[in-house]
Copies of this chain bind each other. A is one copy, B any other.
Amino acid sequence: MKTTIKDVALQANVSISTVSRIINNQPGYSEATKEKVEKVIKEMGFHPNGLARGLIHKKTHTIGVLLPNIISSFSSKLLNGIEESAHENHFSTIVCNTGPLGNRTLEYLSVLGEKKVDGIILTSSPLKEEYYKEIKALDIPVILLSSMSYRYSVPYVKVDDKQAAYHAASYLIQNGHTKIAMISGSQDDELAGLPRYEGFIKALGDHGLSVNENIIVYGDFGFQSGRTSMEQLLPFRDEFTAIFVASDDMAMGAISVASEHNLKVPDDFSVIGYDNTNIAEMAIPPLTTVAQPLREMGKVAITKLIEMINNQDTIASAIMAHEIIERKTVKKIIST
Using CB atoms and an 8 Å cutoff, list the residues of chain A in contact with chain B.
2, 45, 47-52, 54-55, 60, 62, 70-73, 75-77, 79-80, 83-84, 87, 92-97, 104, 108, 110-116, 137-139, 223, 249, 252-253, 255-256, 259, 278-279, 281-284, 286
Contacts and interface: CB of A to CB of B under 8 A. Distances in A.
Given A92-B111, A278-B279, A116 B70 contact: no
Given A256-B282, A282-B279, A76 B70 contact: yes
A256 B112 CA distance: 44
23 contacts: A45-B137, A49-B114, A50-B114, A50-B116, A51-B60, A55-B55, A71-B73, A71-B76, A71-B77, A71-B79, A73-B278, A84-B97, A87-B96, A87-B108, A92-B96, A92-B111, A93-B94, A94-B95, A249-B282, A256-B286, A259-B284, A278-B279, A284-B284
B70 A80 contact: yes
A95 B95 contact: yes
A116 B4 CA distance: 13
Given A2-B139, A253-B282, A279-B282, A47 B92 contact: no
Contacts of A279: 278-279, 282
Contacts of A110: 47
Given A60-B51, A76-B71, A95 B97 contact: no
Contacts of A223: 278, 281-282
A73 B62 CA distance: 25
Contacts of A138: 47
Given A54-B51, A97-B80, A62 B115 contact: yes
A62 B62 CA distance: 12
Contact of A255 (B51, B115, B284): B284
A71 to B, nearest CB: 5
Contacts of A60: 51, 115
A279 B139 CA distance: 41
Given A79-B95, A83-B97, A87-B108, 18 more contacts: A47-B113, A47-B114, A49-B116, A50-B116, A60-B115, A62-B115, A71-B76, A71-B79, A83-B95, A92-B94, A93-B94, A94-B94, A94-B95, A95-B95, A249-B282, A253-B282, A256-B284, A279-B279
Most buried by B among A72, A87, A115, A284: A284
Nearest to A113: B47
